[in-house]
Amino acid sequence: MFIAATANFYNFMDGINGIAALSGVICFLLSALFNVFYSSIDPFTFISLVAAGACMGFLPMNFPSARVFMGDVGSLFLGFLFASVVLVNSFSINEFLVYISFLFPFYCDEITTMAVRLYSGDNILHAHRKHLYQLLVNEMGISHLKVTIFYAMVQAVYGITMLIFYSFSDTLLLIMVLFLFFVLFAFFSFAVRQGKKIPFFIRKSP
């Protein structure tokens, strides 16, 4: 179920230029670094590095302007691969929590969007354009460049922070940090959906 959910989440988030590829670079690179510094160098470490390199090579063709698109096959595969890396290398709940933090903005966006749609009485099986990143681009008119970089920054901060806290070997601490990250993302998502002005995303007047 985790693999299927992650693969589909990754696919659903591949809706603006660069977001899937740049997120792939970050999540796979962080996964490889986690193995090198805290676990062991295994085949999935090299697979993660290859995947990060592939995403990095694809990025110039898809960001900031898209000449080539990843498509469903590419995004589903990246989601499947990342979920596989997580499950194969998670020998404890602590490791699992750290690994999922490497793609946490994607999980947060999907979960908060699903919650909003359920609350609104929408059929969550129907296609929609209500993800946070879609609202930022389509409703607020923010550029693909800015939104993609924002997601990448949040993803990197979440992942690196969890890598640091992992050294304390405290499961409750990791859960609390991850929960705090989710709450912050949820509040930000709620603010955007309520039409609040977000400083980083305010467009300059022509």
Q: Could you state, in order of their start, the residue ranges of all structural domains in the chain?
A: 2-201
- The whole-number pLDDT of residue 204 equals 44
Say whether 11 counts as a known binding-site residue: yes
Of 1, 10, 205, 204, which Cα lies nearest the Cα of 107? Answer: 10
- As a whole number of angstroms, the distance between CA 50 and CA 166 comes to 25
Q: How far is CA 65 from the centre of its chain?
A: 20
Considering the entire predicted model, what is its pTM?
0.89
**Which residue positions in the chain have pLDDT lower than 70?**
197-206
DSSP state of 136: I
Tokens encoding 69? 């698109």
Say whether 72 counts as a known binding-site residue: yes
Inter-helix orientation angle 93-101/71-89, to 10°: 150
- The whole-number pLDDT of residue 64 equals 81
- The whole-number pLDDT of residue 127 equals 76
Residue type, 99: Y
